[in-house]
Structure 1
Amino acid sequence: MGSGEETGAGGVPGGGGGGGGTGGVVRGAVLKALVVVGGVLLLRRLRRSTTRWDHARAVVDALSGEKFSREQARKDPDNFFNLRSPEKPFRQRFYMVKPCPKDMKCDVELSSYAIRDVEEYKNFCDRPKDQRPQPEEVIADIAEHLTTIHLSRCERGKRCLYKGSTPPGGFPNNWSGATHCTSDLSIHKNGEVHIWDKGFDDDGNQVWGTKAGPYEFKPAPKSNYDDMFSPLNFSAPLTLEKKLESSYSIDDQ
């Protein structure tokens, strides 16, 4: 019983069986070591919790880029619009994204701010980087705070990644007879961003914002040449602008 093991371990010259036994032991040890190391690394990765800043960065990535409500406007033109007028923006805002305070039950805090010099940000996305306002200029152009939405990670199995809304009561707003406004936002796994802004008067009546549901902004397709000259992408005529007053939000702040 012990002699075979001793011969293999001793490596008797010319003993082919002994050499193979040694190689098998070594390979087995290496394989076990790899399995153990791999298991430890996997366990560490699984145990690594998502940090508060991981959530914030995920929201920043989801909100970046061009997104359009073109498809929704085609399906329901009476309630939704897709206006592309870079030289005369419909609405311009700064968004500040950061983790929620530790004492709050949310993951990401998304705040919107008015722009001090809106003329400098016209057609921003289509301009070369060296012709856009620089970081120090952007900081100087952050004006008054408008709204804050608290976002939480969606449960597993849901279409969304994050969703949230403004606090109860919303935020002050004086456009078109409103006294306050609310916002609901959801970020979806396919890159869509759904936004529902509404304005209310003192009696709780909705005075602006669509009543049919949130706007559904989808990422710009890789090639949108066919849609470039769609009427939905040009400045709205006067009749459409009047419709907009009861369909979406414009803040005069």
Structure 2
Amino acid sequence: MNFKNILLAMLLGCVIQFFSCATGTAVHRKSDDLKKLVSWMTGSFSSQEQAQTDHDFLDIRLKMVKIWPNRQDGYWLYVEQALATKQERPYRQRVYHVTIQDNATFESAVYTLEDPLQYAGEWQKRKPLAALTPESLIIRKGCSIILKKEGDEAFAGSTQEKDCVSTLRGAEYATSEVRITPTELVSWDRGFDHNDIQVWGAETGGYIFKKIEDF
């Protein structure tokens, strides 16, 4: 091999190494962002402060806790939402599957449980939903929240178009808008009929859930 070929081979090796390191750094950074997002999502939240100043909003308690820690396909969270006065009987129970979608976005897929009330309070257990698997859940197709990072202090996103089907109170589809920071989670869920008229959900803005405890 002559000197020119040796030089070209060395140059090619440097280029490959550069792009390999750059790709590895980008993947590592996105993995760190996913961990940060999930850590901000998990915990105990309350809308009490908002309810005290705006009577259009109720005092709601929100719990999100990690489940199935040995799985390697992203993070799984169990979620309970209940009136502050009826926390033993949540009106919404979900499982979220939080993953990296691509270089710019994260996805929080939404699942429901069969006979959910039998799992009420499960977030307090050392191993919540340990008897269940993803295969035992019911996915809500079209209801995933697609999130993007906003600087270093927030993640924000929403459902897509009219993809999330809902029949609650005469609705045809539902939308969700979410913004997550280290100290609060803002969630605006609404249902719309076939004429795009809102039939349920807060009308002036989202619920502001202040984090009161980390899990």
Tell me the TM-score normalized by structure 2. Answer: 0.69
Residue 187 of structure 2 aligns to a residue whose secondary structure is strand
1:205 aligns with 2:197: yes
Q: 1:149 aligns with which of 120, 145, 148?
A: 145
1:121 aligns with 2:114: no
Structure 1 partner of 2:73: none
**Matched residues in 2 for 1:68 and 1:79: separation?**
12
Aligned partner of 1:133: which letter?
Answer: L
Indicate if the aligned counterparts of 2:105 and 2:147 stay in contact, CA closer than 8 A.
Answer: yes
Structure 2 partner of 1:233: none
Q: How does 1:1-253 map to 2 (within 5 A)?
A: 48-49=25-26, 51-82=29-60, 83-84=83-84, 85-101=86-102, 106-126=104-124, 128-129=125-126, 132-134=128-130, 136-146=131-141, 147-155=143-151, 160-189=153-182, 191-220=183-212
1:58 Cα deviation (Å)? 1.6
**Matched residues in 2 for 1:166 and 1:176: separation?**
19
Structure 1 partner of 2:74: none
1:109 Cα deviation (Å)? 0.5
**Matched residues in 2 for 1:101 and 1:153: separation?**
12
Aligned partner of 1:187: which letter?
Answer: I
Indicate if the aligned counterparts of 1:67 and 1:220 stay in contact, CA closer than 8 A.
Answer: yes
**Higher Cα Rg, which structure:** 1
1:65 Cα deviation (Å)? 1.1
- Taking a change above 3 Å as real, the CA distance of residues 197 and 76 of structure 1, as seen in their structure-2 partners, is same
Q: Percent identical across equivalent pairs?
A: 27
Residue deviations 1:165-190 (CA, integer Å, cap 9, x gap): 1112241111100000111000114x
Task: Report the structure, 1 or 2, having the larger strand content.
Answer: 2
Moved over 6 A (4+): none
**Matched residues in 2 for 1:107 and 1:215: separation?**
23
1:48 Cα deviation (Å)? 4.3
Residue 132 of structure 2 aligns to a residue whose secondary structure is helix
RMSD over aligned Cα atoms: 2.4
Q: Which runs of 5+ in 1 are unaligned?
A: 1-43, 223-253
Q: Which runs of 5+ in 2 are unaligned?
A: 1-20, 61-82
Task: Report the structure, 1 or 2, having the larger helix content.
Answer: 1
Aligned partner of 1:51: which letter?
Answer: R
Aligned partner of 2:139: which letter?
Answer: E
**Matched residues in 1 for 2:133 and 2:118: separation?**
10
Tell me the TM-score normalized by structure 1. Answer: 0.60
How many residue pairs were aligned? Answer: 167
1:204 Cα deviation (Å)? 0.6
Residue 93 of structure 1 aligns to a residue whose secondary structure is strand
